[in-house]
């Protein structure tokens, strides 16, 4: 008989299946945003120096992130289903037993999911995207770039092969967009000391390094068409990193929130007492694990008690946004909910 996987291996395997789906959903959401831009209107607004009008023409709306929202709902439900397995069956008067099933539409779960989706999309992703675009537009105007070129720097240039827009900053964080802007500025400066800084940008396509060295040797800037290709490749690689980071972080967050939602539902339905539920932190241990999460590994707390990191942060679960970015970005920890069935026996 095949040996059943440990709880740890089971959860890791489940999360490894869910994470790629969430990453694909993020990529689909960004494709939605790029497909919805109105380039001609953006150019017109920029000719009028109407930055806010240009932003509106980008169509950066929460509805474009619907694929990501659906994917996080699926992860949330998977976490709830996993926790539900630990809730005891109820024996009916006729001797039959009733399983506890997690209901994603239960009032407590629905509220948790609604608040989570709102925080992720309308609280984080959309505002940060708009800030990134606003800063890039302002820089383009300040540097005297042609309106159409500035617009294409943001929305990406259409590939003759795929027909899709490639490059651009749509989907990038505001900080990543600043890196793309710095990449362009350095290559167009013609200043050897500035151009050499591009070699420190680890996500660049190194196949262009010879071109940069030739420009440095000649003391001239890289030509604009080549800069566009290089910056587009760099932006695409940053977007890939962005998708991986969001998928890893939000898979953990949604899964662990789903577990808590299932336990709250079980409590509300009288299936289990809150006092006998504990939460256990499990760190994924390797050289990348945060010291604070190593400290929390196997730490057990009461259901409503937070995990207290050595940094001072308090988290209800791994990935809890209240812990701050330094505790949650790329976190691979997971939480186990346990029920002590003997604790209520007098």
Give per-residue pLDDT as tens, 58-72.
Answer: 999 999 999 999 999
> Do 81 and 223 fall into the same domain?
yes
Single out the residue in 251, 272, 293 at which a domain terminates: 272
pLDDT of 267 higher than 90 = yes
Contact present, 179 and 158 (Cβ < 8 Å): no
Q: Which helix (H) or strand (E) holds 194?
A: helix 192-196
pLDDT of 92 higher than 80 = no
Q: What is the DSSP letter of 167?
A: S
Single out the residue in 242, 272, 302 at which a domain terminates: 272
- What residues contact 101, with CB distance under 8 A and at least 6 apart? 84
pLDDT of 2 higher than 70 = no
Q: How many domains does the chain have?
A: 2
Helices 224-268, 147-155: crossing angle, 10 deg rounding: 40
Instruction: Please give the model's pTM, rounded to 2 decimal places.
Output: 0.90
> Do 221 and 152 fall into the same domain?
yes
Longest dimension (CA), the chain: 89
334 within some domain: yes
Q: What value does the mean pLDDT take over residues 30-53? A: 94
pLDDT of 292 higher than 60 = yes
Domain that holds residue 199: 7-272
- Residue 346: the pLDDT is 47
**261-300 in b/e burial notation, b at 16+ Cβ within 10 A?**
bbbbbbbeeebbeeebbbbbbbbbeeeeebebbeebeeee
Give per-residue pLDDT as tens, 118-144.
Answer: 999 999 999 999 999 999 999 998 888
Q: Which of 122, 130, 141, 116 is nearest to 252 (CA)?
A: 116
318 within some domain: yes
Contact present, 260 and 317 (Cβ < 8 Å): yes
Is residue 164 exposed (0-12), middle (13-18) or buried (19+ Cβ within 10 Å)?
exposed
> Do 16 and 144 fall into the same domain?
yes
Single out the residue in 256, 272, 288 at which a domain terminates: 272
> Do 315 and 279 fall into the same domain?
yes
> Do 250 and 306 fall into the same domain?
no
pLDDT of 96 higher than 70 = no
17 within some domain: yes
> Do 246 and 281 fall into the same domain?
no
Contact present, 184 and 177 (Cβ < 8 Å): no
């Amino acid at each position: 008989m095949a040996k059943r996987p440990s709880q740890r291996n089971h959860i890791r395997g489940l999360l490894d299946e869910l994470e790629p789906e969430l990453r694909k959903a993020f990529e689909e959401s960004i494709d939605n945003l790029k497909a919805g831009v109105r380039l001609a209107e953006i150019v017109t607004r920029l000719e009028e120096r109407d930055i806010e009008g240009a932003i509106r023409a980008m169509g950066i709306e929460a509805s474009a992130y619907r694929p990501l929202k659906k994917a996080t709902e699926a992860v949330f439900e998977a976490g709830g289903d996993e926790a539900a397995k630990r809730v005891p069956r109820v024996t009916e008067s006729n001797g039959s037993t009733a399983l506890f099933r997690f209901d994603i539409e239960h009032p407590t779960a629905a509220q948790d999911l609604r608040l989570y989706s709102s925080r992720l999309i309308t609280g984080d992703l959309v505002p940060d995207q708009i800030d990134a675009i606003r800063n890039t537009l302002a820089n383009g105007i300040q540097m005297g770039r042609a309106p159409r070129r500035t617009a294409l720097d943001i929305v990406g240039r259409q590939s003759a092969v795929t027909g899709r827009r490639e490059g651009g900053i749509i989907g990038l964080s505001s900080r990543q967009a600043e890196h793309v802007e710095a990449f362009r500025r350095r290559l167009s400066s013609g200043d050897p000391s500035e151009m050499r800084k591009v070699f420190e940008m680890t996500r660049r396509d190194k196949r262009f390094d010879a071109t940069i060295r030739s420009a440095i040797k000649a003391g001239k800037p890289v030509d604009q068409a080549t800069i566009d290709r290089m910056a587009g490749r760099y932006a695409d690689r940053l977007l890939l990193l962005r998708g991986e980071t969001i998928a890893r972080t939000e898979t953990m967050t949604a899964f662990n929130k789903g577990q808590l939602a299932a336990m709250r539902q079980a409590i509300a339905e009288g299936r289990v007492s809150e006092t006998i539920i504990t939460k256990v932190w499990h760190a994924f241990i390797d050289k990348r694990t945060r010291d604070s999460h190593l400290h929390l590994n196997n730490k057990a707390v009461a259901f409503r008690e937070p995990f207290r990191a050595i940094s001072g942060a308090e988290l209800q679960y791994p990935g809890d946004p209240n812990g701050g970015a330094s505790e949650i970005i790329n976190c691979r920890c997971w939480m186990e909910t346990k029920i002590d069935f003997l604790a209520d026996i007098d």
